[in-house]
Amino acid sequence: MGTRKRMIVAITGASGVNYGIKFLEVLKNLGLETHLILSNAGKKIISIEGRLSVSEVEKLASYTYHEDDIGSALASGSFIVDSMVVVPCSMGTLSAIAHDFENNLITRAAGCVLKQGKKLVLVPRETPLSIIQLENMVKVAKSGAIILPAMPAFYPQPKTIKDLEDFICGKILDLLGIDHQLYKRWEGENKKI
C-alpha cells in the first residue's frame, strides 16, 4: 500500500449526505486511497437530498462496496487502514457500532478499525437526542471512536451551504492530521498569531 493514506468512508442513512459527498471530493483532490461503503438507507437519502446521484458519488472513491459485501477485504482486521469516517452517521449505525453488532460491512469494518486501534470518526446527525442515543455516543467514545457531530460553527461567517460542508469536512481532516484550508480558523480577537 506504500505511504499513501488509505481510508474507509461510509455514508449512512442520516440527513446530511452532502457532507459525505464533499468529504469524498476533498479526499479525491488530495489523491488519497478511499474505500467507500454506502448503506442502503444512505443510497436512499442520497437520492432524496444529495447533490450528486449514487453512481456519481461512487465514482468519487477509489473503491466502492455495498453494505452486504461482507466477503470484502474491509471485513477483516488484516486490511490495513489509517482511519475510517462515517459521514453522516445514522443513529442506527451508531447503535450497531456501539454494541459491536457487526450486521453489515460498515459496522463490521468499524469494529475492525476499533479493535486494531485505528482512528474511527463518526459524524452523527440527529436532533434532539434521546438518552439511548447519547449513551451510545458515550459508549463508542469510550471505545476510542471520536464523535464529531454535524454541527457547523458560525464564527467563520458562513455564507453558503458549501461553507457549512467545508467546515465539517475541515474539522474531520483536523482530526486525521491532514492539512487543508477548508474553513477560516479563529485567530483570536486581536489576530496576534
Ligand X SMILES: Cc1cc2nc3c(=O)[nH]c(=O)nc-3n(C[C@H](O)[C@H](O)[C@H](O)COP(=O)(O)O)c2cc1C
**What residue ranges bind ligand X (CB under 6 A)?**
12-15, 39, 41-42, 45, 48, 90-93, 125-126
Judged by beta carbon, residue 79 or residue 101, the one nearer ligand X is 101
Q: Are 146 and 121 in contact (CB under 8 A)?
A: yes
Q: How far is the CB of 132 from ligand X (least distance, A)?
A: 12
Q: How far is the CB of 39 from ligand X (least distance, A)?
A: 3
Give the length of the chain.
193
Judged by beta carbon, residue 32 or residue 172, the one nearer ligand X is 172
Q: Dihedral, CA atoms, 123, 112, 34, 32, nearest 10 degrees?
A: 90
Q: How far is the CB of 98 from ligand X (least distance, A)?
A: 12
Closest-approach residue to ligand X (CB) = 13
Cell of 29: 483532490
Cell of 147: 464523535
Place of cell 475492525: 112
Q: How far is the CB of 120 from ligand X (least distance, A)?
A: 15
Judged by beta carbon, residue 18 or residue 90, the one nearer ligand X is 90
Judged by beta carbon, residue 15 or residue 33, the one nearer ligand X is 15
Judged by beta carbon, residue 32 or residue 89, the one nearer ligand X is 89
CA distance 189 to 119: 33
Cell of 6: 488509505
Helix and strand element counts for the chain (H, E): 7, 6
Place of cell 463508542: 140
Q: How far is the CB of 97 from ligand X (least distance, A)?
A: 10
